[in-house]
Amino acid sequence: MTRHLILCLAVLGLIVPFGPAHADAIRIKDLVEFDGVRGNDLVGYGLVVGLNGSGDGLRNSPFTEEIMSNILERLGVNIAGEEFRPKNVAAVFVTATIPPFARAGGQIDVTVSAIGDANSLLGGTLVMTPLNAADGQIYAVAQGTIIAGGAVAQGDAGAVVQGVPTSGVIPAGARIEHEIDFELSALETLRLALREPDFTTAGRIERAINSNFGRRVALMLDSGTVRLDITATRSLSPAHALGRIENILVQPERKARVVVDQRSGTIVMGEDVRISRVAVSQGNLTLRVEEAPLAVQPDPFADGQTVVVPRTNAEIEEEPGIGLAEIRPGTSLSEVVAGLNALGVSPRDMIDILKSIKAAGALHAEFLVR
């Protein structure tokens, strides 16, 4: 069965002017990232023990045997030349993020993920594992009992898996041993990086901060950066200055976007999406081809052979479409949605219609397909 989507679009008018969209005021700390105030990723390679026969097969995962031998040798156990193939150990990657201003002795959560052919990490214990940052230095050490979020039940003829039992977490499973070198108190200027770069939003942040302090302390450098003069704020420290400005309310400006997910048929449209006046026609065409071969046999007691005669039945069905439906220029998101809903098509067909409207130049928004 082959399905064809027939779209006919014609731009019938011009874009009409619209007033500015009204968005809710958002706190500055929800719009920007403060330069240097961020987390740092850590990663380590370790061993999980205590599994109930669901660990790595050492013949298929030789790196598990290697790390197990190294750990035992560091503990004074020599297994050189020994045939040692347990099923209750698994090699894992351990990942974590050290938050900003974390101090030595603090604890952070870690995620443990199997890298071999282990079936489950449920009930396992992570052996002491150093966690390195991008510079190669050790900043934390992880150890503890893994909380896995899945389950496995298997027999000789089948298995049932729920969730992902080969990955788990250890709450507060790593202790910080080395602090990240960053002195906030020594800064004289600080940059605010917008999560969604926009000149209008950056200008509003600059004006809001300067208005709050009653003098020029912030300067917009580009669409994604606002520089804050810590000295001009006359605050006791940079932390005091950030604590004052992070709760200032600013009305952000966003790009008009249409985001579609073709796998699930999800469509998300922003408030500022506009569609010029267009006409849309949509219909479905179904082609059906059936093969029903017929076997023809010779008469009784006659010389001959059975012959298969091909027989094909072909049909074309065209469902009645919606005709030529007009989508008027939308002055608001609700009117745009109402115009598209008037077409009476499925979400997946709506995605194709929106792509065609964009190709016709009538959809005035950034179109993102994921």
- Give Cα 230 to chain centroid, integer Å: 36
Query: Per the structure block, which two tokens stand in for 293?
Result: 């071969």
Q: Do 293 and 309 contact (CB within 8 A), yes or no?
A: yes
Distance in angstroms (rounded) separating the CA atoms of residues 362 and 364: 6
pLDDT for residue 185? 84
- The counts of H helices and E strands in the chain are 6, 26
Distance in angstroms (rounded) separating the CA atoms of residues 220 and 162: 51
Q: Is the pTM of this model over 0.75?
A: no
Query: Per the structure block, which two tokens stand in for 311?
Result: 């027989």
Q: Do 34 and 238 contact (CB within 8 A), yes or no?
A: no
Parallel, antiparallel, or unpaired: how do β-strands 307-309 and 294-296 relate?
antiparallel
Nearest CA to 147 out of 115, 110, 196 is that of 110
Q: Do 258 and 368 contact (CB within 8 A), yes or no?
A: yes
Contacts of 186 (CB under 8 A, 6+ apart): none
Q: Report CA-CA distances (Å) from 260 to 268, 269, 335, 349, 353.
A: 6, 9, 19, 12, 12
Which residue ranges in the chain fall short of pLDDT 50? Answer: 1-22
Distance in angstroms (rounded) separating the CA atoms of residues 114 and 90: 7
pLDDT for residue 193? 93
pLDDT for residue 173? 92
Distance in angstroms (rounded) separating the CA atoms of residues 233 and 153: 62
pLDDT for residue 123? 85
Parallel, antiparallel, or unpaired: how do β-strands 189-194 and 225-229 relate?
antiparallel
pLDDT for residue 107? 94
pLDDT for residue 323? 53
Q: What is the Cα Rg of the chain in Å?
A: 32
Distance in angstroms (rounded) separating the CA atoms of residues 15 and 330: 9
32-36-37-40 Cα dihedral, nearest 10 degrees: 120
Distance in angstroms (rounded) separating the CA atoms of residues 205 and 202: 5
Query: What size, in residues, is the chain?
Result: 370
Amino acid present at 8: C
